[in-house]
Structure formats: structure tokens, C-alpha cells
Structure 1
Amino acid sequence: MTTIVLLLIAIGVVPLIVGIVRLRRDPAAIDRRAIAASTILAALAFNLTFFWQEIWLVLPKAMTPGLHPILYHNDHDWTGTAPIVELLQGTGAISTLVSGIAFLFIARRATRPTARLFAWWMAFEGFFQSASQFAIGALIPGNDVGRALTWLGMSNASRGMLLPIVGILMAKASQALVRIDRPAILLPAALSILLIIPFRVPRDPIEVVLIPIVVHLIGTGWVMLGASFTPVKAPPVQGRPALALPFAALLAILLVFQCILRPGIAF
């Protein structure tokens, strides 16, 4: 636990503090509608990305002889054994990274405010859900990425070399994001956790809350730091993001998570 706390301070708290200190305060009034839209879309993007990860943790196992995975809304499980099963624990983190890259390109080309903000948050979640797993897996062998690295036979020294690579990834991702746009992020990233919790229960309370806190702490820290160094290149999108449609989508996905995925779908 001490290792994780120190890691979060190093890759989450420190970038956040430095970014806040370096950024100039915006004298403009707070746009409550923009904050509300960003909060809803952040929660929507977190849950969709997390589910995307779960799908790609399940599908490779479903295609592996001897394994019978079960898809849940906040966990995954399987029966049976196969020599490659530990390696397949890393497929979820890779899939979220691919999602982040894909939505980064979509955000660059989006012209409508809701579409761009949604794609921006999907890219954010893709990059930082994967990066946080790789960073923790470099030090903790028990998480999904850590188990895959153990299967690959990586030594402690090799794992340690992974951390600066993850740091470079987060720095480049944050620069790419803030070149597209600088939406309200600090308050929405925090408030969205309250909207994410209903998607993750029932489970141990610490696990329900800890993962979104870790992802948003790390992601917000690096984006704030990136914003303090990187100019915005893309022209601002005209108009304001919608509220009703994203909120309706969030409620619909919550029903899917709790009514369909919560009992589990066996493959």
C-alpha cells in the first residue's frame, strides 16, 4: 500500500500541484453549464472505457481453449485453465490505450461541441486508465498488467524501466489533449466520481471508489501540467455542449450495467 501511495504522489499529486501553480488564473466567470456537461461526459467516458477494457479482458479468454470467462459490469472472472491466461490479463490495458489513441484523432476532427468534448474525455480515459495500470503494474505484480509482466518473465529492473516510458506516454498524451482543447477539467474530474460510483457497486467500497480516484488524479495532474506548457492549437468550437442527451445516455448505460451486466454474461 505504501508503494502505491508514493507512486500516486509522484505521478499524480506532484504534476497536479505544479500544473496548478504554473497556470494563470482565468478571470472569466465560471461556466456552470460547461462544468456540468464536462462532468457528465467524464463519467460517461470513464464507464464506457472501463467496459471496453472488460470486453477485451474477456474476448481473448473466450477464444482460448480451456477458458470460460464471465463478463461483469465491474469485474471479470473465468473458469478453466490455460498456460497463457496470465498474459491475457494485459489485454485490457492495451485495448484502453488503443481507444485513447483512436478518440484523440476523433477529437481533433470533431466540429460540434458535444462531440468534441465527448471524444476528448474518451481519449483522456483511454490514455490514463491504461497508463495508471502500466505504472502500477511496473511496481505491483498483483494487478492485471503486473501479472502479464510476470508471465513474460520481466525482472524488477526491467519493470523499473517501464515507469519512465509510462511517464513519457502521459506527458505526450497530455500535450496532445490540451492542443485540442482545454475544457473544464479539475472540478468535473472530481465531481464525475460521484456519478461513476453507481456503475461500480456492488463491490468492496475501496475498490468502487479507488480506481476512478486514481485514474482522475493522475490524468488531471498530467493534463494540468501539460496545459501549463502547451499552447492550444485547434480553433475553439462554436456553441455549447448539450446536457440532456449525455445525461440520458449515462442513465441508459447505468441500466445496462446494473440490469444486464451485473448478473454476469458467461462465454
Structure 2
Amino acid sequence: MSPYAQPILITSLATTIAAPILLGLIGLWRSRTASSEPASPAGPWRWQRTLHSGLLYALCFSLIFFIQELFLVVPKALTPGLRATLYHNNHNWTGDNPLAHLFQGTGALAIALTALGFVVWLRSRPPRTATWRLFAIWMAFHGFFQSLPQIVVGAVLPQNDVGMAFGYLQLTDASKFVAGLIALVVIAAIAIRFVAPLLALAQDPAEIATPGRRSGFIFRIATLPALLALPLIIAMRVPGSVDQVAIVPVAEFVIGLFWIQASAWCASYRLHETVTAPRSSWGPLIAVAALLLIFQTVLRPGIAFF
């Protein structure tokens, strides 16, 4: 373990838990002491929108995880002396080649680039429907928040995927420490940047007209859906060890959604046009069911790449 393990741990807890909680408490106090509320009502709670977002969150988590594992397997399968197997919640390989350790970093790189691709889509030609807008948002979110935390963990644990790549590249402990600190700052900055596109999903400006209403809207469109999606995500990943099944989705929820929820009250936003509301959640539900079936019947036994 790295000699910088304790500073990284303390900084991680401060950055991902303590800081967003403090920011959220400030927002709560500001909301309660606001002098006035707008005259127009915020409208009813649209439960269908919450369910819709939760299904897409679960779908995108598993798609991003699959992309990561696929790009961990394919480079190894193309390397002489290595044979790799892809599973629903992990991968494995046999044989020996020094490049195997370097290729432990290709999965995180692949999903980070995937996230950037969806960010470009959202910025250049944002989808007009809430379904595709949420799909793009959650694909970008999971791409970033399944990759960046691996840099922090890899800075401390050499046996972590990214830690193995760091070892192959012969990075010093100090270099890995700096990389971990930079990743923590980027994590917080990116999480806050997700608030604006989520607020843009509001059907009525009154829904997000005050700090309190912005926090409530983010809770209904992002935080609660992500929490409700966790059982679906875990169902796709069982059976397996705790780190394979539960730790990754729960840690991602804490690292990403804490900042998004905490910063909602002070976020700047612009409503360019009204996004078409989802008419039905059958599409995302069928997609999640199909992916669950594929994970548990096709990928769970393992697919060998030779």
C-alpha cells in the first residue's frame, strides 16, 4: 500500500462526503431563510419522471460497466500469451504477458472517453426528448464516475485495475498521489456540472425558480431515481463478492449524487426549450429487463475470448 494512503483517504472523505454535506446544509439554511417564494405554484410531483430516470440510471450503469469490462478483455485477447473471459460483473484471464497489467487501465480509459462522447452530444445537439436526454446524461455520468474514482483507488492500492497500470508505467508514489488529488478535484467539478443539464429537464420554470425548488427537483429527477435503481443494478451483478456486486454502485452513488444534490440550490441554469416529457416508461423498462436477461443468461457463465 502507498505511503500516501492516509492523506488520500482523508482527502477523499473530505472531498466526497464532508464538503457536499456542508454545501447542502448551507443550501438548506438559505432555502429556509428565503424572504419570499414566487407566486406561481411548482406543480405536482411527477412520479413517472422519477421512475423513468431510475430505469435509465440502472440501464446506463450496466452499459458503461459492460463497456469497461469489454475493453479490459479485448486488448488482452489480442495479446500473445493471454486468454481472457468476460463475465457479467468482472473479467479474468490466463497466461502471462507484462502488457496485461498495462491493459488493466484500458477499461477506465474507454468509459472516460465514452463519457466525453456523450458530453459532446449533449452540448452540440442535445436530444429533444426527456428519455434520450436522460440517457445521454446518465451515460456521461456513469462513464466519469466509474472511471475517475479508479484513479484515486489506484493511487493507493497497486492491485487495483488502474493501480496495475500505474505499476507498469513505473509511476512513483508521489506521482500517483498527485494524480489521485487531481482526480478528486475533477470528480467534484464534473459532478457540479451535471446539475445544469438535469435542471434543464424541468417542464415549467416554476419547478426550479428558487434554491429550495431546485434542490427538490434534483432530488426527484436524480437522487431518488439513483437510489431506487440500486436494487436493479445489484440484481444484474449477483452472484459475486461484495466488491463485485454492491460496492461499486453504492460508492458511485455517494461520490456523484452527493455533490449533485448538494450543489443544486446554487446552480446556474438556462431553459432553452421545453424538453418533451416521457409518455411511458415501458421502453426503459423493457431495455432494463432485456439487459438483465443478457447479463444473467449469457454473460454470467462467461464468454471466452481467444
Using structure 1 for the length normalisation, give the TM-score.
0.91
| Separation (CA, whole Å) in 2 of partners of 1:5 and 1:167 | 11
| Greater Cα shift, 177-186 or 77-86 | 177-186
> Identity over aligned residues, as a percent?
38
1:141 CA displacement: 1.7
1:28-67 to 2 correspondences below 5 Å: 28=42, 29-67=44-82
Assess, with a 3 A threshold, how the Cα gap between structure 1 residues 118 and 19 changes in structure 2: closer, same or farther: farther
| Greater Cα shift, 74-83 or 166-175 | 166-175
Q: Is the 8 A contact 1:49 1:122 kept in 2?
A: yes
2:227 alignment counterpart: 190
| Greater Cα shift, 214-223 or 15-24 | 15-24
Paired letter, 1:54:
E
- Tell me which of 288, 291, 295 is aligned to 1:253: 291
2:277 alignment counterpart: 240
1:134 CA displacement: 1.1
Q: Is the 8 A contact 1:112 1:237 kept in 2?
A: no
1:232 CA displacement: 1.4
SS in 2 for 1:69: strand
| Separation (CA, whole Å) in 2 of partners of 1:6 and 1:193 | 26
| Separation (CA, whole Å) in 2 of partners of 1:165 and 1:205 | 28
1:163 CA displacement: 2.1
Is 2:202 the partner of 1:165? Answer: no
- Tell me which of 14, 19, 22 is aligned to 2:18: 14
The two structures, once aligned, show a CA RMSD in angstroms of: 2.3
SS in 1 for 2:93: strand
| Greater Cα shift, 176-185 or 159-168 | 176-185
| Greater Cα shift, 163-172 or 105-114 | 163-172
1:218 alignment counterpart: 255
| Greater Cα shift, 246-255 or 138-147 | 138-147
Unaligned runs of 5+ in 1: none
Question: Aligned pair count?
Answer: 267
| Separation (CA, whole Å) in 1 of partners of 2:256 and 2:186 | 12
2:206 alignment counterpart: none
Whose radius of gyration is greater, 1 or 2?
Answer: 2
1:51-200 to 2 correspondences below 5 Å: 51-108=66-123, 109-182=126-199, 183=218, 184-200=221-237
| Greater Cα shift, 166-175 or 50-59 | 166-175
| Separation (CA, whole Å) in 2 of partners of 1:193 and 1:48 | 14
| Separation (CA, whole Å) in 1 of partners of 2:148 and 2:93 | 25
| Separation (CA, whole Å) in 2 of partners of 1:205 and 1:215 | 15
| Greater Cα shift, 166-175 or 72-81 | 166-175
Q: Is the 8 A contact 1:180 1:234 kept in 2?
A: no
Deviations 1:24-53 (A, max 9, x none): 669844331121111111111100000000
Q: Is the 8 A contact 1:19 1:228 kept in 2?
A: no
Assess, with a 3 A threshold, how the Cα gap between structure 1 residues 122 and 9 changes in structure 2: closer, same or farther: same
Assess, with a 3 A threshold, how the Cα gap between structure 1 residues 231 and 32 changes in structure 2: closer, same or farther: same
| Separation (CA, whole Å) in 2 of partners of 1:154 and 1:139 | 12
Q: Is the 8 A contact 2:115 2:140 kept in 1?
A: yes
1:102 CA displacement: 0.9
Using structure 2 for the length normalisation, give the TM-score.
0.80
| Separation (CA, whole Å) in 2 of partners of 1:52 and 1:33 | 29
SS in 1 for 2:99: coil
Unaligned runs of 5+ in 2: 32-36, 200-217
| Greater Cα shift, 205-214 or 33-42 | 205-214
